[in-house]
Amino acid sequence: MAEFYLDLVGYVCPVPLMETKKKFQELAAGDVLVIETEHPRAVRNIMDWAWNEGTDVDVDETANGRWKIVLKK
Mean pLDDT of 4-22: 96
> pLDDT at position 63, please?
86
- 13 catalytic, yes or no? yes
pTM listed for this prediction: 0.93
Spell out a b/e string for 37-56, using b for 16 or more CB atoms within 10 Å of the CB, else e. Answer: bbbeebbebbbebbeeeeee
Q: Would you tell me how many other CB atoms lie within 10 Å of the CB of residue 57?
A: 17
Active-site position among 4, 11, 13, 31: 13
Say how many C-beta atoms besides its own lie within 10 A of residue 68's C-beta. Answer: 16
Quick one: which of 65, 4, 28 has its CA closest to 20? Answer: 4
* Residues 17-70: tens digit of each pLDDT: 999 999 999 999 999 999 999 999 999 999 999 999 999 999 999 988 999 999
Q: Provide the domain count of the chain.
A: 1
CATH number of the domain encompassing residue 32: 3.30.110.40
Domain of residue 23 covers 3-72
Q: Are the C-beta atoms of residues 35 and 11 closer than 8 Å to each other?
A: no
